[in-house]
């Protein structure tokens, strides 16, 4: 379930809500003042170098000798 970020135009606070994608357009009430929050555009970044040691890499079944279908000639 995604986390959506909101900002409150009244009290200028920011808050998050965990909700299903089917409810992405629902109004979010500010937990500080009760006003209607506005959904923010959320962005995130992943450092690929940090993931190399933690995420196992498995070969696919593409028919290539290396297991990946990349036509590497191995």
pTM above 0.75, yes or no: no
Sign of torsion, CA 32 33 36 38? negative
Say which residue, 23 or 47, is predicted with more confidence.
23
Domain assignments of the chain as residue spans, ordered by start? 3-43
Which of 40, 48, 45, 7 is CA-nearest to residue 24? 40
Confidence label for 14 from pLDDT (cuts 50, 70 and 90): very high
Structure tokens at 5: 């970020």
């Amino acid at each position: 379930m995604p986390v959506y970020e909101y900002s409150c135009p009244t009290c200028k606070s920011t808050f998050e809500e965990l909700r299903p994608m089917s409810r992405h357009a629902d109004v979010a009430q500010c937990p500080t003042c009760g006003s209607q929050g506005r959904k923010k555009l959320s962005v995130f970044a992943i450092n690929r170098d940090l993931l190399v040691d933690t995420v196992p890499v498995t070969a696919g079944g593409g028919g290539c000798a290396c297991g990946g279908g990349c036509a590497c000639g191995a």
